[in-house]
Chain A
């Protein structure tokens, strides 16, 4: 018969994770604080470069800022950014229209009509297209459109390449927004005798509009910030602003100014490069903030309803 050694009853048992009062052992506390400390540090590590980038862009542009930057064309050694601003706005506006229409239509198809296999293939193709490096798309655009179709550096070539980049974003956000529309809405519309097309355009699309707009704005921010696909489709550092010619007419845009000016031997161009970076950051942040405002506005409204 074995006797129970009351004094050593815990021998062979693992060290308990709590002390007599149920508080975590010191090892658990150390792990807890080390873990969450590292996580908090990660947030700071993410915040640091953003603040550094924003401050760096601000500090190099704003103290030397002249409003003439917005009103003069670029020259060989300096000048202003009027042509670049015009070019960027023209590119973004045309991409916004073309990619917007195609992307929203594609999103509608994926949300409403696409069935099983077909939908999956189209969806993956679209997502993968967005993952193709932008320089590869630009290179293809250069050979197929600029050289192959003899369009030369032009708005059309830039438009097609940038649309290929942005359509997947718009179609994905459109699809997601339409899937979030409650089924009741459709059933209600059907029950009232609305035709499917009217249900789509009047009920579902209307309810999905904030989500679609948000995705569209983010896509426009991306289009505005792209450089690599434009250098060999829209041209680079030409000093030409907005154009009515779809082909055979290169455009300037802000990102090409950053790329072409930052190592220039002319201080005027270097300064323009910093100014372009500043304008780009301001415009992109503006688009992102607008999209955020739309999101929070609609969220507040749906919570109330």
Chain B
């Protein structure tokens, strides 16, 4: 460390020139505060700040677990296999089962909501990953600098638009278009295909109102996670070293083959990590899904066009109503849902970062950009 004050300079060396007196000021600034020297004090203050997110994360999980514990006890493991949503009677006297106070007949299941969450996010990934990679390749390899900056602005705009605005747009524009122009032809196309169980999922009826349902929710989520995946892929592609790429060109490859054989394999783990990060965001997205998915509570979607519920959307929709339950059991069940969602998204987030850690790339925080 080069922190020796000038007075401790070795004998015989030239004393530092200090025409402006800056060094004196620096020494004044070095006065200890509260008995802490200037090395320790900033370290301590900033360290506390850096500790806060860590503590907040632990607090989130602990509070949820504490709040949800009675519900976890009452709902049991069968919670994950049921598709019920029965708040029970708020007029009859509540009963105690295993020490947990709850309304008579209360019965909740998570299967349909977990299925809705995973299905809509899977649809989102299915559309978002190829589109993001294609766009990132175009930006890096083909577009001139100004145009690629413009597309970059598009991505930042997408990342910045509030999710209620996405929801509003989906409710007013995308949903009706889906219902009128997209869902009927797709459903009738699959209706003509042979009667195979997996294809039945794509068949009608397309009865949902205003296009609300699984596929529309999935598409909106796809649009919302494109910025994370595309921006990360773009930054990764820009870091591919020039030499292997030029080597590929020198071997006679055209630039498409170079991209396929050199660039994409080079950043593969980064792309997978970014996609998993996008998945985590899709799993936890609330407002847009609440406005377009149809808010189903206890129904498993039997085709692509049915109303669904996701965990996040159900929490935001039901918290108000759950307060009518004087026993607090419904809010505790919602806490269990929140805990399930938190655990799923924490696992996906950590997973994404583990995948990428091996590749040596850096993932963005949260929404990307």
**Interface residues, chain A, CB within 8 Å of chain B?**
17-18, 24, 28, 31-32, 35-36, 38-43, 45-47, 49-50, 52-54, 56-57, 60, 101-103, 105-106, 108-110, 112-114, 121-122, 124-140, 142-144, 164-165, 167-169, 171-172, 187, 190-198, 200, 218, 221-222, 224-228, 231-232, 255, 258-259, 262, 273-274, 277, 280-281, 284-285, 287-288, 292
Who on chain A is nearest to B18 by CB?
A: A193
Chain A, interface SS category: helix
Check if B185 is an interface residue, CB within 8 A of chain A. Answer: no
Output the least CB separation between A186 and chain B (Å).
Answer: 9
Contact yes or no, A167 B53, CB < 8 A: yes
Which residues of the other chain, A, contact B151 by a CB distance below 8 angstroms? Answer: 43, 46-47
Within 8 A of A (CB), among B46-90: 46-54, 56-57, 59-60, 63-64, 67
Check if B165 is an interface residue, CB within 8 A of chain A. Answer: yes
Which residues of the other chain, A, contact B247 by a CB distance below 8 angstroms? Answer: none
- Find the residue from A49, A131, A134 having the highest chain B CB count within 10 A: A131
Within 8 Å by CB of B165, from A113, A144, A232, A277, lies A277
Contact yes or no, B138 A40, CB < 8 A: yes
Query: Can you name 27 A-B residue pairings with CB atoms under 8 Å?
Result: A39-B134, A42-B135, A46-B151, A53-B169, A57-B169, A105-B50, A108-B46, A122-B53, A125-B54, A125-B57, A131-B349, A134-B286, A135-B316, A135-B341, A139-B64, A139-B334, A142-B319, A143-B63, A168-B366, A171-B49, A187-B2, A196-B38, A197-B29, A197-B42, A225-B162, A225-B165, A255-B287
Which residues of the other chain, A, contact B93 by a CB distance below 8 angstroms? Answer: none
Report Cα–Cα, A288/B130, bound state, in Å. 26
Within 8 Å by CB of B64, from A140, A167, A221, A281, lies A140
Which residues of the other chain, A, contact B286 by a CB distance below 8 angstroms? Answer: 133-135, 227-228
Contact yes or no, B161 A281, CB < 8 A: yes
Output the least CB separation between B87 and chain A (Å).
Answer: 18
Within 8 Å by CB of A53, from B29, B161, B342, lies B161
With A193-B16, A277-B164: A127-B29 Cβ-Cβ less than 8 Å? no
Which residues of the other chain, A, contact B1 by a CB distance below 8 angstroms? Answer: 190
Which residues of the other chain, A, contact B280 by a CB distance below 8 angstroms? Answer: 131
Who on chain B is nearest to A104 by CB?
A: B49
Chain B interface size range: 35 or more
Report Cα–Cα, A132/B30, bound state, in Å. 41
With A113-B47, A139-B319, A255-B164: A164-B56 Cβ-Cβ less than 8 Å? yes
Within 8 Å by CB of A52, from B169, B171, B331, lies B169
**Interface residues, chain B, CB within 8 Å of chain A?**
1-3, 5-6, 16, 18, 22-23, 25-27, 29-30, 38-39, 41-43, 45-54, 56-57, 59-60, 63-64, 67, 130-135, 137-139, 142, 151, 153-158, 160-169, 171-174, 223, 226, 230, 252, 254, 256-257, 259-260, 277, 280-281, 283-287, 291, 312, 315-316, 319, 331, 334-335, 338, 341-342, 345-346, 348-350, 353, 363-367, 369
Report Cα–Cα, A273/B165, bound state, in Å. 10
Who on chain B is nearest to A191 by CB?
A: B2
Output the least CB separation between B213 and chain A (Å).
Answer: 17
In the complex, the 10 A-B pairs of residues with the closest C-beta atoms, listed nearest first: A133-B284, A225-B162, A42-B134, A105-B49, A109-B46, A130-B366, A190-B2, A131-B349, A125-B54, A109-B50
Within 8 Å by CB of B5, from A24, A112, A193, A273, lies A193
With A46-B230, A109-B43, A288-B156: A114-B365 Cβ-Cβ less than 8 Å? no
With A113-B47, A258-B168: A225-B26 Cβ-Cβ less than 8 Å? no
Contact yes or no, B160 A109, CB < 8 A: no
Contact yes or no, B285 A287, CB < 8 A: no
Contact yes or no, B254 A195, CB < 8 A: no
Contact yes or no, A106 B52, CB < 8 A: yes
Report Cα–Cα, A56/B161, bound state, in Å. 13
Which residues of the other chain, B, contact A40 by a CB distance below 8 angstroms? Answer: 134, 138, 142
